Structure 1
Amino acid sequence: MAATLTILDDYQSVALSSADWSEVQKTHDIDVVTEHIDDVDALVERLRGSEIVVAMRERTAFPAAVLERLPNLKLLVTTGMANAAIDLEAAKAQGVVVSGTEGSGREVAELTMAMILSLARHIVAEDRSMHEGGWQHTVGVRLEGKTLGLVGLGKQGAWVAELANAFRMHVVAWSPSLTPERAAEHGVASVGKEELFETSDFISVHVPLNDGTRGLIGAEELALVKDGAFFVNTSRGPVVDAEALLMALMVDTLAGAALDVFDVEPLPAADPLRKLSNVILLPHIGYVTREVYEIFFGQSVEDVLAFVAGSPVRTL
């Protein structure tokens, strides 16, 4: 009887069509899970017989408490070469190989600029109005000359800076490790954290989630923003204090926000953010493009075949 390979969180049912799984199917039955399994017991039950699991980014967590309940698991493939939701030490201790894939390119930066443009020109609100029979209800702002504050200037932040500079925005950035020299390499001015929040017309978050960045932006920072400022987060939800952000939007401390990431994903149907008219909400699609899925699942197939052949690749 063939072993089982489970693909988790394939929300759009694209995993099998994004790569050629025919060689894998010679040794494994493939079980595709198209919904998110939030309950740990239900997750363990679904994966109990799986020898290999392919996880989409950090949609499903694999802490030690879950891994120890999956004695048949031999290979865990994560899309991307880093996954904060997997306890790598616990996996190693249990003899589970963890392999990754290459990640996305400029997709997140492109989406960030799309969100900034949508906020500046009220694109979502005007589109909705047009579909309802309306015509011209809002007044936008131009991007040229506006200040974009980047919290983090890593790969994605630098790509956003490049795009923003093309719009002739004034780009500033802050992170605990950012130097003026590195900022200047990307046409960006290095500023202090307070100055960034006080002077930016648009604030965009581009730092990884770790112990040092969890709750990095809270009520104190959001209280500093200038009138009419907009906030964008395509990084990770927990980098921002969710309650502080909600309050800033409810009392108009922020003119608006565009969010692609949340503390809990999928975002619960009853979450109060869904009721606010000054927020653009996207379902964590920063990396979701056809090209990225072809990389994710194509290299997942490579990882599985290499493991089956006894020579795992791209191990974490």
Structure 2
Amino acid sequence: MPQSLPTVIVSAPVPPDLRAAIEAACRIVDVPTGQRLDEAVSAADRAVARGVLCTVRTPVDAATLEALPAVAVVSNFAVGYDNIDVPRATKGGVLVCNTPGVLDRAVADLTMGFVICLARDMVEGDAYVRRGAWLRGPAPLTSDLAGKTLGLLGMGRIGRMVARRAQAFDMRVIYHNRNRDTASEEEGLAAYRTRDELLAESDFLSVHVPLSAETRGSVGMREFEAMKPSAYLINTARGPVVDEAALIQALREGHIAGAGLDVMEREPLDPASPLCALSNVVLQAHAGSATVETRRAMMELAVTNLLDALGGRQPLAMVNPAVRDGMGAAHA
């Protein structure tokens, strides 16, 4: 008698061909994106589910993991995994996978888009034309990028991609990272600075650190007061890394000139937020990876990670790889 297919919970938008690949190896239980799995999945399915494919909108906390006693792998359709209680997953022998690498270029492109948009005041420039102000005279002058200093708070894959793009605009690039990136320094890609030096020198400060207990709220009023009044903050990492109340105050009081934000503390952003009323802020809807090509590559990797883990193969991207060797024994 053939062995029954393993059950997997899918709480992410999967293209038909990739869904067919999952269906060929698994029984799928669908859950709307963002719903709690411990509430939306029947007790019978929770008891046998071996895998989860989800987005960062789906909480996989201790309660969820407790409700999924047979789960062996959680494959996140994202680079970040702050929606997952990784220590609890690791303790329970649950492998956590993500999708690094494939979205680096798209996020770096959006970061540079913010730099250009802020320097040239393109949002106001668009409004200037639309409201007929151009008929009464030329738009105010803006700023060149050449010669300006781009500071990177975090120098991982995305930071290095941003540095390369900034060099094409003849910008000076500096960075601060917990560990020195000597290879990038030797290549002439960016120069190392202490954190305080980075804040003081940057004309654009771009955040590229993951969200953790250490980084949550780590960019706050102290940092804004240390920046140039003419400087801009750009965040394409995670919203809670920046103290949003302090940022709003800094923008209102002129401690910094403006901000470009793809991520916020609470998403989706309420249009009643003070951020939406500030003319010196450019906002995007957590769209750093939101291109057709990048989202496709991310989902391919997320599905491959899921199927490889369930099939006894080594996934390409693992958050807690030490779990892999014990996967079989964890749920025997």
Alignment TM-score, normalising by the size of structure 1: 0.83
Instruction: List per-residue Cα deviations over 1:224-243 (Å, max 9, x = no partner).
Output: 22232111111122222222
Partner of 2:323: none
**Residue 60 of structure 1: aligned partner:** 58
In 2, the alpha carbon distance for the partners of 1:215 and 1:123 equals 29
1:47 matches 2:41: yes
Number of matched residues? 305
Worse overlay, 62-71 or 79-88: 79-88
Asked if structure 2 preserves the Cα contact closer than 8 Å seen for 1:180 and 1:189, the reply is no
Q: How far apart are the structure 1 equivalents of 2:269 and 2:246?
A: 17
Q: Is 2:96 aligned against 1:98?
A: yes
1:106-185 superposed matches below 5 A: 106-135=105-134, 136-178=138-180, 182-185=184-187
RMSD in angstroms over aligned alpha carbons? Answer: 2.8
Match of 2:85 in 1: 87
Residue aligning to 1:22: 20
Offset at 1:101?
A: 4.0
Q: What fraction of aligned residue pairs are identical, expressed as a percent?
A: 36
Judging changes above 3 Å, is the alpha-carbon distance between structure 1 residues 236 and 186 closer, same or farther for their aligned structure 2 residues? Answer: farther
CA distance in 2, matches of 1:206, 1:277: 24
Cα deviation, residue 303, structure 1: 3.5
Compared CA separation, residues 131 and 182, structure 1 to 2 (3 A):
same
Map of 2:225 onto structure 1: 223
Q: 1:279, CA displacement in angstroms? A: 0.7
TM-score (norm 2): 0.80
- 2:199 and 2:227 in contact (8 A); partners too: yes
**Equivalent residue, structure 1, for 2:10:** 7
Alignment of 1:178-197 (within 5 A): 178=180, 182-197=184-199
- Larger mean CA deviation between 234-243 and 171-180 belongs to 171-180
Structure 1 pair 212–312 and aligned structure 2 pair: CA distance change class (3 A)? same
- Looking at structure 2, the residues matched to 138 and 9 of structure 1 have their Cα atoms a distance apart, in angstroms, of 45
Matches within 5 A, 1:242-281: 242-281=244-283
Partner amino acid for 1:288? A
Cα distance in 2 for partners of 1:232, 1:9 equals: 28
Q: Deviations over 1:169-221 (max 9, x none)?
A: 12222234336775343432222322322222111111222233233222111
Distance 1:313 1:177 in 2: 26
1:102-149 Cα offsets, whole Å, 9 max, x none, are: 542311111111110000111122223434444354421010111111
Alpha-carbon deviation of 1:167? 0.6
Contact persistence 2:155–2:181 (CA under 8 A): no
1:203 aligns with 2:201: no
Q: Structure 1's 74 and 155: CA in aligned 2 closer, same or farther, altered over 3 A?
A: closer
Letter in 1 for 2:109: E
Q: Give the direction of change, closer, same or farther, for the CA distance of 1:214–1:23 in structure 2 (3 Å limit).
A: closer
Shift of 1:256: 0.9
- Closer, same or farther: CA 9–269 of 1 in aligned 2, 3 Å: farther
TM superposition shift of 1:251: 1.4
Which structure: greater helix fraction? 2
Q: Which moved more, 1:72-81 or 1:258-267?
A: 72-81
My pick for the range that moved more, 84-93 or 247-256, is 84-93
- Structure 2 unaligned residues grouped into runs of 5+: 321-332
Unpaired stretches in structure 1, ≥5 consecutive residues: none
| Distance change (3 Å), C-alpha of 1:249 and 1:102 | closer
**Do the aligned residues in 2 keep the contact of 1:162 with 1:186 (CA within 8 Å)?**
no
Superposed CA deviations along residues 55-88 of structure 1, whole A, max 9, x for unmatched, are: 22x3333221221133464542113566233223
